Amino acid sequence: MKSIEIKSSKREKIGKVDSKSLRKNGSVPCVLYGGKETIHFSATEISFKDLVYTGAAHTVTLDFGGKKTNAILQDIQFHPVSDRIIHADFYEIHEDKEITMDIPVVISGSAPGVLNDGGMLSRNKRKIRIKAIPSNLPDSIDIDISSMELGDKYTMADVQSDKFEILHPENTVVCQVRTSRASMIIEDPVVEEIEGEEGVEGEEGAEGAEGTEGTEGTEGTEGAAEGDKGGKDKGGKDKGGKDKDSGDSKE
């Protein structure tokens, strides 16, 4: 694994006032753990550029004026507003002792399930936590997806190695080619939709027929009403005629 060298200076004073003064001068208060003693030191903020603002994993060589110590970055704190580094913790490493680190996952190749079948590559884990001695720490965990078809996936069991121990369950998914909407067959829904439209037309036709029958019934009703009216008119004339005859007879 690649190591980044950081020029470091041991701090003579420890406290909030001294830490604030260091930050004003462009330095970062730091602490080194894991050795025979805890060391408080400072380093320039710009020296963290290649260590922090990158996706790669690195070890660190702390240079205390000629005396060098190998370590890893264990924790780092940023200002909530300015996003500047305000504190960093390092852990000293030894060649015969295992350490824990998060190693980035690097994917190479093109999955046929994505190119040919319209699938979608889903990356579930971008970093994998491993445990190993410093000499066996990899720069990255490489995965070739050139043979991944639709529905295929890589799990932690597929990236196991004799040089390090993976601190995740074996069934944890690292990446997979998932089915997307573009790869789904949509012929059946179209057929159903067409059949549904025909059914609607049939219903409209039935409604039209019922409407016609209703019209005919209306005409019959109107005819019956006219007949009743005509009968009443005739009855009125007959009655009037009888009334006239009765008047004549009285005279």
160-to-104, 168, 170, 222, 223 alpha-carbon distances in Å: 15, 11, 9, 92, 94
Q: What is the pLDDT of residue 54?
A: 86
Q: What is the pLDDT of residue 183?
A: 58
Domain boundary among 157, 183, 209: 183
- Summarised one tens digit per residue, pLDDT across range 87-136 is 999 999 999 999 999 999 999 999 999 999 889 999 999 999 999 999 99
Host domain of residue 140:
100-183
Q: What is the pLDDT of residue 56?
A: 87
**pLDDT given for residue 184 in this prediction:** 62
Task: Name residue 44's beta-bridge partners.
Answer: 27
Tell whether 112 is covered by a domain: yes
Taking alpha carbons only, the member of 93, 51, 98 closest to residue 76 is: 51
Q: What is the pLDDT of residue 118?
A: 87
Residue 72 near residue 93 (C-beta atoms within 8 A): yes
111 and 81 part of one domain:
no
121 and 89 in a common domain: no
Q: Does the pTM of the predicted model rise above 0.85?
A: no
For 173, list phi and psi in degrees, rounded to 5: -80, 130
Please give the tally of structural domains in the chain.
Answer: 2
* Nearest C-alpha neighbor of 39 from the set 11, 19, 60: 11
Residues of the chain with pLDDT under 50: 186-188, 190-192, 194, 199-200, 202-206, 208-209, 211-251
Q: Are strands 141-144 and 120-123 parallel, antiparallel or unpaired?
A: unpaired
Q: Write down the pLDDT at residue 208.
A: 46
pLDDT at 10: 93
